[in-house]
Amino acid sequence: MGMVMEFWRRRTPLNLFLSPLSGAFCLAAALRRRAYRRGWLRVHSLPVPVIVVGNITVGGSGKTPLVAWMARRLREEGYRPGIVSRGYGGQGRGVREVTPASDPFDVGDEPVLLARHTGCPVVVGRRRAEAAHRLLELHPCDVIIADDGLQHYALSREIEIAVMDGDYRLGNGLCLPAGPLREPKRRLEEVDRVIVLGEDMTLVPAPLENLASGQRRPLATFRGQKVHAVAGIAHPGRFFRFLERAGLKVHGHPFPDHHRFTPEDIDFDDGLPVLMTEKDGVKCEKFARERHWVLPVEAQVDEVLANALVGLLKGKRNGQKVA
């Protein structure tokens, strides 16, 4: 994925060669959206407000940490939020409720982390509307947050929040397959808020956690040491660079996003510590050893923006929908 993301950052002769296909993709995405807005395709409405958090690019941009932050913030405000997700990387079928003890290979890695970090009910399903209906059947939620559902127009929504990587931005600005865009960039003009990772929101690391013992240890205690770094995320290099800036001597091992890890993937014969993202660690817990550590991160949102997001929900009236 890393090489592809770099390809989508540039405008090379190959990108330009693929640009007619990109134009067709953009047109198809716009027509699909119009079909939902005109009522030609069914939109499922719910009796509670829906907040969709997503982006218009392929790859990670901090959506899931933002969803976790938002769920906790809404609970502090007195709401009873629930979360729906596609469950990318999970092999299970149908609509399923997620608990902190769920198998990430069944329901996906990110939903398990959301269940653990928010204390909110989480339901996954390929069809977000079905997942949302199941969520309301099981729990008395009064607001639903859809993780990575911006293009899932079958689910009606009151609020749309687009998250953008402050470094990668929109890549080369082209739609798939010549660029990383899932929709034309003008789509961002229609969402309620655009949150830029690195500007409006930062990801703050917590102490490292040992996957085998549960021991916590500050990242700074590894400064100057050689370590293996494992990352099966959209931008593995971002994790490796973060560790390097913290003073670690990193031997990076990139894997595809949502990689299904095996013991061999994290077993190196030199005895060095192995550091990984929490998203990867949740899939390695069953076979991890004392040398395996995860680095949890939490979203930290500008307080003015945080209040604005809560105010946006409070200001929405019943029946106001965007699609």
pLDDT(17) > 50? yes
Q: Beta-strand (E) ranges in the chain?
A: 50-54, 81-85, 96-98, 122-124, 143-147, 159-165, 193-197, 201-205, 208-210, 216-217, 226-231, 249-254, 274-277, 292-295, 297-301
If we measure between CA atoms, which residue out of 280, 309, 313 comes closest to residue 294? 280
If we measure between CA atoms, which residue out of 46, 297, 302 comes closest to residue 149? 46
The two tokens of residue 168 are: 């990668």
Give the Cα separation of 9 and 114 in Å (integer).
Answer: 30
Strand partners, 164: 196
CA 105 to chain centre: 17
- The pLDDT value recorded for residue 88 is 86
CA distances from 191 to 158, 300, 310 (A): 10, 21, 16
pLDDT tens column, 211-233: 999 999 999 999 999 999 999 98
Rounded mean pLDDT, 177-204:
94
For the chain, percent of residues with pLDDT exceeding 70: 97
The two tokens of residue 280 are: 């990867």
pLDDT tens column, 53-97: 999 998 778 899 999 999 999 999 999 999 999 988 888 889 999
Side chain identity, residue 195: I
pLDDT(323) > 90? no
How far the first Cα of the chain sits from its last, in Å, is 30
Q: Sign of dihedral through CA atoms 284, 289, 292, 298?
A: positive
Rounded mean pLDDT, 303-316:
87
Q: Say if CB 109 and CB 21 are below 8 A apart.
A: no
Burial of residue 187 (CB within 10 Å: 0-12, 13-18, 19+) is buried
Which of left, alpha, beta for 73 (phi over 0: left; psi -120 to 50: alpha)?
Answer: alpha
The angle subtended at Cα 96 by Cα 92 and Cα 102, nearest 5°, is 75
Give the model's confidence band at 2: pLDDT under 50 very low, under 70 low, under 90 confident, else very high: low
Rounded mean pLDDT, 265-277:
95
If we measure between CA atoms, which residue out of 187, 192, 200, 199 comes closest to residue 161? 192
Instruction: Say which residues have a Cβ less than 8 Å from residue 17's Cβ, sequence separation at least 6.
Output: 178
